[in-house]
């Protein structure tokens, strides 16, 4: 059985062998809590991998497949994802803050709790994503055209519960 360290070494040095090895791991590879920050990848296939709490911060990912992956709490802050597949994956609490996510596919992925603050999702397909209404974003988030979003999703930013403010006319009483 190939170790996590050996898989990371293959990912950095021999993408084709990495893709071949990861397909042979029954139940998917465990790459949880791995630091992939600042990595540049083209054509990697993480299919069915557990990447929980890993970091791809400031990474450059092109044609990378995250199909059927557990990407819960993964850090993609300031990353560039171009033509990546994040299909049938769990992205609960995944942080895409200030990332560029261009021509990526999120079909059948669970985005509950995902963070898209300041992210640029131009041309990405979120039309078949699940729980997009439960994600966090701000007025700086750039969304794709409506045809690439779920019908019931509203791209207009509104303050979330963490920004609840007291009414201005609220007065303290001595009860």
Q: Considering Cα of 115, then 80, then 31, then 34, what sign does the dihedral take?
A: negative
Phi, psi of 9 (to 5 degrees): -65, -45
pLDDT of residue 175: 58
Given pLDDT bands bounded at 50, 70 and 90, which one contains residue 158?
low
* 104-135 pLDDT, tens digit each: 999 999 999 999 999 999 999 999 999 999 99
In terms of residue numbers, what domain contains 72?
1-151
CA distance 151 to 52: 29
Mean pLDDT value of segment 153-175? 59
The pTM score is 0.87
User: How many other β-carbons are positioned within 10 Å of the β-carbon of residue 3?
Assistant: 9
Model confidence band, residue 171 (pLDDT cutoffs 50, 70, 90): low
CB 155 within 8 A of CB 149: yes
| Residue 173 confidence (pLDDT) | 59
Pairing between strand 40-42 and 60-62? parallel
Instruction: Please report whether residue 86 resides in a domain.
Output: yes
Question: In CATH, what number is assigned to the domain containing residue 111?
Answer: 2.160.20.80
C-alpha distance from residue 80 to each of 97, 100, 172 (Å): 11, 5, 49
CB 113 within 8 A of CB 136: yes
Residue-wise pLDDT for 3-22, tens only, equals: 999 999 999 999 999 999 99
For residue range 56-75, what is the model confidence (pLDDT) as tens digits?
999 999 999 999 999 999 99
Query: Is residue 41 one of the residues assigned to a domain?
Result: yes
How far is residue 130 CA from its own chain's centroid? 13
Residue 94 lies in a domain: yes
Tens of pLDDT, residues 19-58: 999 999 988 999 999 999 999 999 999 999 999 999 999 9
Domain count, the chain: 1
Chain-centre distance of CA 163, in angstroms? 24
In a domain, 74, yes or no: yes
Q: How far apart are CA 57 and CA 129, in angstroms?
A: 23
Q: What's the rounded Cα separation, in Å, for the pair 2 and 163?
A: 46
pLDDT for 155 equals: 86
Q: Give me 110's structure tokens.
A: 């669970």
């Amino acid at each position: 059985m190939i170790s996590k360290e050996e898989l990371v070494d293959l990912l950095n040095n021999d993408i084709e062998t990495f893709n071949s090895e990861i397909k042979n791991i029954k139940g998917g590879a465990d790459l949880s809590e791995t630091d992939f920050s600042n990595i540049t990848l083209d054509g990697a296939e993480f299919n069915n991998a557990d990447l929980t709490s890993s970091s791809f911060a400031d990474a450059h990912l092109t044609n990378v497949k995250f199909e059927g992956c557990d990407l819960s709490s993964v850090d993609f802050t300031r990353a560039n994802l171009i033509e990546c597949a994040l299909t049938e994956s769990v992205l609960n609490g995944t942080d895409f803050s200030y990332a560029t996510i261009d021509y990526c596919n999120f079909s059948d992925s669970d985005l509950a709790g995902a963070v898209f603050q300041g992210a640029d999702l131009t041309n990405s397909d979120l039309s078949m994503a699940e729980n997009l209404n439960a994600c966090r974003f701000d007025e700086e988030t750039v969304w794709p055209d409506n045809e690439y979003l779920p019908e019931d999703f509203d791209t207009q930013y509104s303050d979330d519960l963490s920004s609840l403010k007291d009414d201005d006319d609220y007065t303290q009483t001595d009860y």
